């Protein structure tokens, strides 16, 4: 649990602003993921990365961007193009694609 | 892509009784099926998982069964306790994890 961190815990932004969510892990995991969670729904995959300098779109990538310049870090930018950005964002990591995914504590983003 | 359906959406049980949550998946290539427990405002935590070469797995009061032919898998919690109250998610992995919508379990004291 404690090896993957997200900051901040709560984030408030005005419409039209881009915002970047941080995700860091010290588990030496190769793969990292970003999910979005809305009330009453399961987790939906935004982006994932299996190796440094490489990432793929998930099911709901529109309006989001990511980078993977370091193995430990996988920041997510929520752009102004995301129509409904208010949600709970969870980052996860795993040793390989087929491994158990460990989740960070999440960032609750509110855009008004 | 993979589609995971989870039932029921809410489940209320008396303390000490059993709880069963069922999930179906669509992609026969899926080969890994984890279950996560999420308490309010917290991160999901893996409680048990099963791979496609196994039909059943048990860990103390929690068990998971998998029927590959029917493409469904279930979570069984026996002797439920108040601390079992949470949202439970099933998931299936083909080339990525696809999650069910979740089951809110309430254990009544």
Nearest-Cα distance to chain A for B1, in Å, is: 9
Mean pLDDT of the residues in chain A = 94
Contact A95/B at CB under 8 A: no
> At residue A3, does pLDDT exceed 60?
yes
Question: Quick one: tokens of A87?
Answer: 């949600």
Question: Does A100 contact B34 at a Cβ distance shorter than 8 Å?
Answer: yes
Half-sphere exposure of B73 (CA within 13 A, CB side): 32
pLDDT digit string, tens, across residues B28-85:
999 999 999 999 989 999 999 999 888 999 999 999 999 999 999 999 999 999 999 9
Q: Do B100 and B5 contact (CB within 8 A), yes or no? A: yes
Q: Do A42 and B90 contact (CB within 8 A), yes or no? A: no
Measured CA distances, A52 to A62, A70, A76 (Å)? 22, 6, 15
pLDDT digit string, tens, across residues A32-64:
999 999 987 889 999 999 999 999 999 999 999
Bridge partners (DSSP) of residue A24 are A5, A73
The residue ranking higher by pLDDT, A41 or B14, is: B14
The confidence score (pLDDT) of residue B97 equals 92
> At residue A2, does pLDDT exceed 60?
no
Closest CA to B105 of B8, B41, B12: B12
The torsion defined by the Cα of A12, A56, B100 and A23, in degrees rounded to 10, comes to: -40
Mean pLDDT to the nearest integer, A64-80: 97
């Amino acid at each position: 649990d404690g090896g993957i961190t997200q900051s901040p815990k709560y984030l408030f932004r005005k419409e039209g602003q881009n915002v970047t969510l941080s995700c860091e892990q010290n588990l030496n995991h190769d793969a990292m993921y970003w999910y979005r969670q809305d009330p009453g729904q399961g987790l939906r995959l935004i982006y994932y990365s299996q190796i440094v300098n490489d990432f793929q779109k998930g099911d709901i990538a529109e309006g989001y961007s990511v980078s993977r310049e370091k193995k430990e870090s996988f920041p997510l930018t929520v752009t102004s193009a995301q129509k409904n950005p208010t949600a709970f964002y969870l980052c996860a990591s795993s040793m390989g694609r087929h491994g158990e995914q460990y989740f960070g504590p999440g960032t609750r983003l509110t855009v008004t | 892509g993979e589609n995971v359906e989870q039932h029921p959406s809410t489940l209320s049980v008396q303390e000490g009784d059993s709880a069963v949550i069922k999930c179906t998946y669509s992609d026969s290539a899926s080969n890994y099926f984890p279950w996560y427990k999420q308490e309010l405002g917290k991160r999901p935590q893996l409680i048990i998982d099963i791979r496609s070469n196994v039909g059943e797995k048990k860990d103390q009061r929690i068990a998971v069964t998998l029927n590959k032919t029917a493409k469904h898998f279930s979570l069984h919690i026996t002797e439920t306790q108040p601390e079992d109250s949470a949202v439970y998610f099933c998931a299936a992995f083909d080339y990525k994890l696809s999650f069910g919508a979740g089951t809110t379990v309430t254990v009544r004291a």
